């Protein structure tokens, strides 16, 4: 009996899913053009007063205290910072080495430009066809 009832229920759902216009004709009926929007209603009543807030001074003061506590905890957890100082000095050394390398590259680029200019001058003074010898 329950099996037959379940079969009828499933069959009904399949029928509704396959032919919704039969079951919901108003949803699929042709509709006319939409009319003009009506006038706005009156303003509603004012809402209830909200809960009192925390004073800005108290809020900032409590957050500052929390921040100071967090900083103190971090400082105590870090303990010895000599590794950080060593890392900082190594970073400074690497930065100065990079600046020196950059300076050397700039010097080499200037020398290369100078050599290129001299080769072009030599080619033009000899009045050679520049395309013939690759100048």
User: pLDDT by residue (tens digit) across 21-65?
Assistant: 888 888 777 888 888 888 988 988 998 888 887 666 676 777 788
* C-beta of residue 120 within 8 angstroms of C-beta of residue 105: no
- Residue 85 and residue 90: Cα distance in Å, rounded? 9
Question: 7-16, 25-34, 48-57, 97-106: which range is least confident on average?
Answer: 48-57
Q: Domain containing 114: what range?
A: 89-135
76 part of a folded domain: no
Is residue 57 situated within a structural domain? no
Residue 104 domain flag: yes
What pLDDT score does 127 carry?
57
Residue 9 lies in a domain: no
User: Which pLDDT score is estimated for 17?
Assistant: 87
**In total, how many domains does the chain have?**
1
Q: Which residue carries 């020196």 as its tokens? A: 100
Reported pTM: 0.33
Q: How far separated are the first and last CA of the chain, in Å rounded?
A: 101
pLDDT of residue 134: 54
Residue 59 covered by a domain: no
- Alpha-carbon distance values, 59 to 53, 62, 71, 117 (Å): 10, 5, 18, 70
């Amino acid at each position: 009996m329950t099996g037959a009832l379940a079969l009828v229920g499933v069959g009904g759902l399949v029928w509704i899913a396959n032919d919704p216009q039969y079951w919901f004709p108003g949803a699929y009926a042709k509709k006319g053009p939409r009319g003009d929007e009506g006038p706005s209603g009156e303003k509603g009543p004012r809402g209830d007063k909200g809960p009192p807030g925390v004073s800005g001074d108290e809020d900032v003061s409590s957050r500052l205290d929390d921040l100071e506590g967090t900083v103190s905890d971090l400082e105590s957890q870090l303990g010895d910072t000599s590794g950080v100082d060593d890392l900082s000095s190594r970073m400074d050394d690497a930065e100065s080495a990079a600046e020196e390398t950059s300076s050397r590259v700039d010097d080499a680029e200037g020398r290369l430009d100078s050599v290129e200019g001299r080769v072009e001058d030599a080619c033009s003074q000899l009045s050679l066809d520049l395309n013939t010898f690759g100048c």
